[in-house]
Amino acid sequence: MGTSLPSLVLEVYGPISLLLLGLGGVVIAMLGALIPAGWAARARTATVLRTE
């Protein structure tokens, strides 16, 4: 990589850990989007538009 840092400093997470962290981020993002979307789907249109 062209740096003088040891690999122990640069390679903090392994490939499996990076994959799990990425998937965890996607799950959290989906939950964060689905909760308000579920509320908006159940609410009346005028109420949803007023809260925008």
- Phi-psi group of 5: left, alpha or beta (phi > 0 → left; psi -120 to 50 → alpha; rest → beta): beta
- Helical H segments across 1-52, by residue range: 7-10, 15-42, 45-51
pLDDT on residue 1: 54
Mean pLDDT for all residues in the chain: 86
pTM over 0.75: no
pLDDT on residue 9: 77
Burial class (CB in 10 A: 0-12, 13-18, 19+), 48: middle
Q: Which of residues 31 and 1 earns the better pLDDT score?
A: 31
In contact, 13 and 21? CB cutoff 8 Å: yes
